[in-house]
Amino acid sequence: MSTSPLNPRIVVRKPEEQQQIDRETQNLALYYHENCVHCIRVLRVIERLHLKIDFRNIREVPAYRDQLVEHGGSSTVPCLQVRKEDGDLEWLYESHRIIDYLEERFV
């Protein structure tokens, strides 16, 4: 993994490394809505890290909001749903916690 010479913050990986990251991100889903400044901050980090995460807009699909409330306990966004290897779900709220998690795991 390296960074782009044009923008040192953008992560560039070898194809096989990116494929591994893509497999790992299959267990992640971001609950968000497009007008949330904290969501936008998380979305920019996801883009910079080239992560393929399932995006769930709670305003466009009311069922996503219902899932968030029922399983995560709150309708607050952004929220990152992490499916662990044993199938349990972890719900990360707060943009700084989500960003820390993504950067720690995928940089």
49 φ, ψ to 5°?
-85, 0
Quote the pTM value: 0.90
For 13-60, the pLDDT digits (tens) are 999 999 999 999 999 999 999 999 999 999 999 999 999 999 999 999
- Count how many residues are written for the chain: 107
The span from the CA of 59 to the CA of 61, in Å, is 6
Omega before residue 78 within 30° of 0, cis: yes
In sequence order, the β-bridge partners of residue 90 are 82
State the CB neighbour count (10 A cutoff) for residue 12: 14
For 62-93, the pLDDT digits (tens) are 999 999 999 999 999 999 999 999 999 999 99
Domains of the chain are 8-106 (3.40.30.10)
Please give the structure tokens belonging to residue 71: 């399983």
Please give the structure tokens belonging to residue 59: 């305003």
